[in-house]
Amino acid sequence: MSATTITKPTAAASVGTADGRIPLRSHLRHTGALVRRNLLWIRQDPESMADAVLFPIVFTLLFVYVFGGSIGQSLGGGQDAYVQYVVPGMLAMMGMTMAQGVGTGFNQDFNTGVMDRFRSLPIGRGSVLFAKIGVELLRMLFATAVLMVVSLLVGFDVTNWGGLLASVALSVVFGSALMWVFLTLGVVMKNVQSVQAMGFLVLMPLQFGSSIFAPTDSMPGWLQNFTDYNPLSALADASRGLMNGGPVAHDLWLTLGWSVVLTAVMAPIAIHKFRTKT
Q: What is the pLDDT of residue 3?
A: 42
Cα dist from 217 to 211, 224, 236, 266, 277, whole Å: 9, 8, 15, 32, 46
Measured in whole angstroms, how far is the alpha carbon of residue 107 from the centre of its chain? 16
- What's the CA gap between 51 and 245, in Å, rounded? 30
Does position 67 have pLDDT exceeding 50, yes or no? yes
Model pTM? 0.83
Does position 170 have pLDDT exceeding 80, yes or no? yes
Confidence of residue 14 (pLDDT cuts 50, 70, 90): very low
- Report the 10 Å Cβ neighbour count for 160: 14
Name the residue with higher pLDDT: 26 or 131.
131
Mean pLDDT to the nearest integer, 21-39: 76
Cα dist from 244 to 74, 94, 124, whole Å: 18, 19, 43
Does position 162 have pLDDT exceeding 70, yes or no? yes
Q: What is the pLDDT of residue 218?
A: 81
Q: What is the pLDDT of residue 144?
A: 92
Mean pLDDT to the nearest integer, 140-144: 92
Q: What is the pLDDT of residue 5?
A: 41
Per mean pLDDT, which of 92-101, 183-192, 255-264 is the most reliable? 255-264
Residues 6+ apart with CB under 8 A from 82: 63, 64, 67, 68, 69, 71, 72, 75
Q: What is the pLDDT of residue 220?
A: 87
How does pLDDT run across 195-242, given as a tens digit for each residue?
888 888 888 888 888 989 888 888 888 888 888 889 999 999 999 999
Share of the chain above pLDDT 90, in %: 29
Q: What is the pLDDT of residue 251?
A: 93
Does position 133 have pLDDT exceeding 60, yes or no? yes
Name the residue with higher pLDDT: 96 or 231.
231
Confidence of residue 21 (pLDDT cuts 50, 70, 90): low
Q: What is the pLDDT of residue 127?
A: 79
Q: What is the pLDDT of residue 36?
A: 86
Confidence of residue 19 (pLDDT cuts 50, 70, 90): very low
Is there a contact between 61 and 68 (Cβ–Cβ < 8 Å)?
no
Q: What is the pLDDT of residue 262?
A: 94
Does position 157 have pLDDT exceeding 60, yes or no? yes
Is there a contact between 183 and 270 (Cβ–Cβ < 8 Å)?
yes
Reference 180, options 136, 149, 220, 214; nearest CA is: 136
- Report the 10 Å Cβ neighbour count for 194: 16
Q: What is the pLDDT of residue 125?
A: 67
Q: What is the pLDDT of residue 142?
A: 92
